[in-house]
Amino acid sequence: MSDEFFEGWGKRNNELLRKILALLERRDVASLAVTVDPPINQLGEKNMGVKSLGAAISVTMLDDQKALMHIQPLDANGNPTSLPTDSAVPTYAASDATVTLDPTVDPTGLSCEVIGVKKTAGTPTVTASFTNLDGTVATGSVAFTITLDPKELDVASLGVTVDTPVAQ
């Protein structure tokens, strides 16, 4: 607000009003909306879909694929907001070892790469967490289903042996 608004109020009232306005402008992050780009394999092929069911997201991908997970901070009314200035970045955790996480792909912390572990199937949940300045925690999560790449399970060749010949 401009200083003209505060003229005639007196210095003490001006300071109090500025503090009140600052508190009203501050919004804590109440939750994190999550989206996930379609998974891609190591060759960059996008061949698996993403399914969204309202606030819950589930993604199916192969063990040799990765997907970029994004979060959007939401205020208590469900409206998009930004992370408070000078706050720590969100953190990410997986419920099991069927995926590895790389949050360094985005220094703002609003994206994290979820990478399948080869030859490992499972159903991990990846959770993003953000701690507000007042200590409250906002979270968002994605349920992944990791399946083994069928191409890796195909028989590529046959080993052949022959017993020593014997009389008929």
Q: Count of domains in the chain?
A: 1
Confirm whether 146 is domain-assigned: yes
pLDDT at residue 135 is higher than 90: no
For the segment 137-152, the average pLDDT, to the nearest whole number, is 88
The range of the structural domain enclosing residue 100 comes to 27-150
Q: Can you give the pLDDT at residue 150?
A: 82
Q: Can you give the pLDDT at residue 49?
A: 31
More confident residue, 35 or 52: 35
Q: Can you give the pLDDT at residue 92?
A: 95
For the segment 109-125, the average pLDDT, to the nearest whole number, is 94
Confirm whether 34 is domain-assigned: yes
**Upper half-sphere CA count for residue 67 (Cβ side, 13 Å):** 27
Q: Can you give the pLDDT at residue 54?
A: 33
pLDDT at residue 161 is higher than 50: yes
Question: How, if at all, do strands 65-74 and 31-36 pair?
Answer: antiparallel
For the segment 5-34, the average pLDDT, to the nearest whole number, is 62
For the segment 14-34, the average pLDDT, to the nearest whole number, is 65
Cβ 151 vs Cβ 64: under 8 Å: no
**Upper half-sphere CA count for residue 89 (Cβ side, 13 Å):** 13
Confirm whether 72 is domain-assigned: yes
Distance in angstroms (rounded) separating the CA atoms of residues 17 and 34: 37
Confirm whether 12 is domain-assigned: no
CATH of residue 124's domain is 2.60.40.1080
> Taking all residues of the chain, what is their mean pLDDT, rounded to a whole number?
77
Instruction: Locate the DSSP E strands across the chain.
Output: 31-36, 40-41, 50-53, 56-62, 65-74, 91-94, 99-102, 111-116, 125-131, 137-147
Q: Can you give the pLDDT at residue 146?
A: 93
- 37-78 tens-digit pLDDT: 766 655 555 543 322 223 458 889 999 999 999 988 887 777
Confirm whether 14 is domain-assigned: no
